[in-house]
Structure 1
């Protein structure tokens, strides 16, 4: 079975060390953001190997950060998001996050 749903896209990812990053774009089918408080990319997978990039672009499948203004019932309503590496948190982070 194959599902087709609309979800915000990951328009850019600058986390070069992630297995899903291919030339600055996320190639996971969908990512999950957050642990309830921090807007980290839960799909981040540290690896020297990268996917082949056959999946065109990732979407945001779920967001667990209830305090984000784009979060509606655990789903992201932003048009798109960007992911970057947060050195302070030592994690890949949704930089589109904004407090509600």
Structure 2
């Protein structure tokens, strides 16, 4: 299975975010109820590795249509704020 890519991230305060791109190697999304970004790291510093583009390593939001066995099957996702939470904005309820 190909890892889903994070095509855009609007959480500019995250240490992994540079120019609206996530540079963590892989992120984890949510829990059974909410699609929050569990990899979020609010910090004043930024990662030095801006060559990599994040993928979705695991998705714990089993209520999402794209979740198959805790893996994301969407080709790509976007991350941004939903209220005060950094969420997967590509979440689609079953």
Task: Tell me the TM-score range normalised by the shorter chain.
Answer: over 0.9
Note the residue ranges of structure 1 that are not aligned, 5 or more in a row.
none
Partner of 2:66: 70
Q: Please, what is the CA RMSD of the aligned residues?
A: 1.2
Match of 2:26 among 23, 30, 33: 30
Q: Which runs of 5+ in 2 are unaligned?
A: none
Q: Which has the larger radius of gyration?
A: 1
Q: What residue in structure 1 maps to residue 88 of structure 2?
A: 94
TM-score by length of 1: 0.89
**TM, length-normalised to structure 2:** 0.94
- How far 1:36 sits from its partner (Å)? 1.5
Structure 1 residue 48: Cα displacement? 1.4
Dislocated runs of 4+, deviation >4 Å: none
